[in-house]
Structure 1
Amino acid sequence: MPIIKSSKKRNKQAIVRAERNKPVKSRFLTMVKNIIAWATEGNKEKVEAHFDEAQSAVDMAAKKNLIHKNKANRAKSQLAAAKKAVSA
């Protein structure tokens, strides 16, 4: 339990920011996981239908600094590879 006033404020800010960021990060993780799972199952329709949405989720998480830009690039590369594997 912080005693200093600025520490209390920082704790409040951290809680608010975590709640604000949670849906964006969750959407990013879920979309990437789903695309890769659908690709391994060979479900071409779902992969192609949700591919753009997944890339958008990755870009949004990187834009808001929830993930590093290199991690975003790696995730988009994995998504593209999964889509290519299903399409072939």
Structure 2
Amino acid sequence: MLTRREVVIEKPFQDRRYNDHRRKVQSALPRIDAGPPREYPHLILKLKKLRLEKDRQGKICEDNIKLVHRMAIIMRTKRLDNINTAPRG
């Protein structure tokens, strides 16, 4: 049984403390983050790798153009007739 002093003075503080505790318990969020990790765009899109690939493709195109020019010069100047007239056998 509560005394008159407890009912008048201490009970409202206890009730308020209890209600604050209940409110905090109900609004509590989990402390462990179980979601997926953040995705950083600079890690997904590798700009250096793209730049190196573009440079590599440019170098291949330049080499192909040089090769075509050299082949055109060879075809123009050093052409040999490779007709084999000898019978097989």
TM-score, length basis structure 1: 0.34
TM-score, length basis structure 2: 0.33
Greater relative contact order (CA < 8 Å, ≥ 6 in sequence): 1
Please state which structure has a larger fraction of its residues in helix: 1
Question: Which entry has the higher C-alpha Rg, 1 or 2?
Answer: 2
